[in-house]
Amino acid sequence: MAWVESGRGRDVVCVHGNPTWSFLWRKVFAALEGQRLRLLAPDLLGCGRSSKPRAVAWHGLDGHAAALTAWMEARRLQDPILVVQDWGGPIGLLAAARAPRVRISAVCLLNTGVVLPGRFRGKGFHRLSRAPVLSQVLFRAMGFPLGWLGRVQADRRSISGEVARAYRWPFRSVADRAAPLGLARMVPGGPDHPSVPGLREVEAWLRAFPGPVELVWGRKDPLLGGALARHVRALPRARVTETDAGHFLQEEVPDIIARSIRRLAGMQEAP
């Protein structure tokens, strides 16, 4: 498992989702430069510069959480702050719940799904991922949805040009495109889906978590913008910051995310 690391001080672990990699956090890291923080962002297996299992079936919540648990324990983290987005939420929190030697001190949630909905609906994107033949053509042969990331942004220009090419770079080979499809198939289409037990464990862990929690949300996210309401109901003590960003809000509001991390680290706000 590859990762990027910057600075020294309080540990902050930032976990990306689908279909991105640690590149997603570069603006947040830049906004925190010079702070007394040790910033770490792993590439989930199958993504970024990490090893890429070529079987779509390898990608499951338990497997990703086990890999991240091992990585977190190997880093010898000291009371880390956990910052998660998209599938990084369930994977990161399940890893934390199952890592006996890692004591998470604070959590920052960014447009993710760590509180189960009352009814499993899914989006067309997730239904496409389960289509027997079409999904292989779209995700493996054509590289979907890597060319469409800007469409889930409030400002489509935030993922375009060189930035869009950087997101596609780890998946430039057809053989390395199992993760976007596998992670999309991890989204439950019903209560019997293999991800559901792990997601219930994640929600129980978060509801019982005694430390501070912040939610920073992009309201203009067509995938998870509407999920904020159920997270607010489940986490009444959490501090909530709503923004006009889209799904990958690290590209659009990195300074707001950085302020949340500084608060969770107990740092004084700049005047």
pLDDT string in tens for the chain (271-residue length): 999 999 999 999 999 999 999 999 999 999 999 999 999 999 999 999 999 999 999 999 999 999 999 999 999 999 999 999 999 999 999 999 999 899 999 999 999 999 999 888 767 778 889 898 999 999 999 999 999 999 999 999 999 999 999 999 999 999 999 999 999 999 998 999 999 999 999 999 999 999 999 999 999 999 999 999 999 999 999 999 999 999 999 999 999 999 999 999 999 665 4
Residue 67 lies in a domain: yes
Distances (CA, A) of 181 to 109, 122, 132, 145, 201: 23, 15, 12, 9, 24
Print the domain residue range for 31. Answer: 3-264
**Helix (H) or strand (E) run with residue 62 in it:** helix 61-74
Residue 269 lies in a domain: no
Q: How high is the pLDDT of residue 33?
A: 97
The reply to whether omega before 19 is within 30° of 0 (cis) is yes
CATH number of the domain where residue 159 is located: 3.40.50.1820
Q: How high is the pLDDT of residue 269?
A: 64
Residue 109 lies in a domain: yes
Q: How high is the pLDDT of residue 154?
A: 98
* Alpha carbons 52 and 47: distance in angstroms, whole number: 7
Residue 57 lies in a domain: yes
Q: How many domains does the chain have?
A: 1
- The residues, any chain, with a CB within 8 Å of residue 33's CB and separated by 6 or more, are 6, 7
Residue 270 lies in a domain: no
Residue 155 lies in a domain: yes
Q: What is the pLDDT of residues 98-125, one digit of tens each?
A: 998 999 999 999 999 999 998 887 677 7
Q: How high is the pLDDT of residue 271?
A: 42
Residue 271 lies in a domain: no
Phi and psi torsions of 106, nearest 5°: -160, 155
- The residues, any chain, with a CB within 8 Å of residue 26's CB and separated by 6 or more, are none
| Environment class of 237 (CB within 10 Å of its CB; exposed 0-12, middle 13-18, buried 19+) | exposed
Residue 23 lies in a domain: yes
Name the residue among 209, 28, 8 with its Cα closest to residue 104. 209
